[in-house]
Amino acid sequence: MRRTLIASTVLLLLMAGVPAQAQDHQGMDHSMHGDHAMPMAAMGGDPRQLVNFPPEMREHTLANMRDHLAAISEILAAMSTGHYAKAARTASTRLGLDSPAAAGCKPEPAAGAPMMSRPGDMEHRMGKAMPEGMRNIGLEMHTAASDFAAEALKATGINNPKPALAALSRVIQQCSACHATYRVQ
């Protein structure tokens, strides 16, 4: 059982590295061409959709993504030591549907319905500025994180992390899908 958990954790860590290698928010390709990394734009080969956020929104988005990656790292550390409830808490508070970062990905509420974010706050403005496809992938990631949290809590009672690890893989798949489709400028 421990070997399976370690192998799963290593696999998830490797998967988490894919977006970081595939996406550099400055438009750099990390594959080497000669002795230097070449800007993808200079090669004309970056097929991802460019998302032009205003500077403060760009910085906020990048900070959110760095926090998402740090949260996944904390989740993996907790899972690898059998602290499933801690992993669930981290996922819920930093990645899940109830996390502050999820507000910008949620659809606009119907008229008269209470809003999670206020019209002037950064998450609300981001939700309006990002492409619909990017917002949908983000919503799927936050939903998958909430699903993972539920599975991690179940693992606490039965000491079987496999369903939780499968759910965590779906979180990382959404991250990878977004980084493969969009780049922030």
Residue 145 within any structural domain of the chain: yes
Residue 172 within any structural domain of the chain: yes
| Residue 124 domain boundaries | 2-14+49-108+119-184
Measured in degrees and rounded to the nearest 5, phi and psi for residue 36 equal: -135, 145
Q: Is residue 82 predicted with pLDDT exceeding 70?
A: yes
Residue 53 within any structural domain of the chain: yes
Band (21; pLDDT cuts 50, 70, 90): very low
Interatomic CA distance for residues 59 and 64, integer angstroms: 9
Band (128; pLDDT cuts 50, 70, 90): confident
Mean pLDDT, to the nearest integer, of 153-166?
93
Residue 159 region by backbone torsions, left for phi larger than 0, else alpha for psi between -120 and 50, else beta: left
Give SS3 for 38.
strand
The domain tally of the chain equals 1
Instruction: Label each residue of 137-153 as H, E or C.
Output: HHHHHHHHHHHHHHHHH
CB 58 within 8 A of CB 5: no
pTM over cut 0.85: no
Q: Is residue 179 predicted with pLDDT exceeding 80?
A: yes
Q: Residue 19: its pLDDT value, please?
A: 40
Residue 112 region by backbone torsions, left for phi larger than 0, else alpha for psi between -120 and 50, else beta: left
Residue 39 within any structural domain of the chain: no
Residue 74 within any structural domain of the chain: yes
Q: If you ran DSSP here, which 8-state letter would residue 108 be given?
A: P
Q: If you ran DSSP here, which 8-state letter would residue 32 be given?
A: E
Residue 130 within any structural domain of the chain: yes
Residue 43 within any structural domain of the chain: no
Q: Residue 126: its pLDDT value, please?
A: 86
Measured in degrees and rounded to the nearest 5, phi and psi for residue 28 equal: -100, 140
Residue 33 within any structural domain of the chain: no
Which of 47-56, 64-73, 121-130, 176-185 comes out lowest in average pLDDT? 121-130
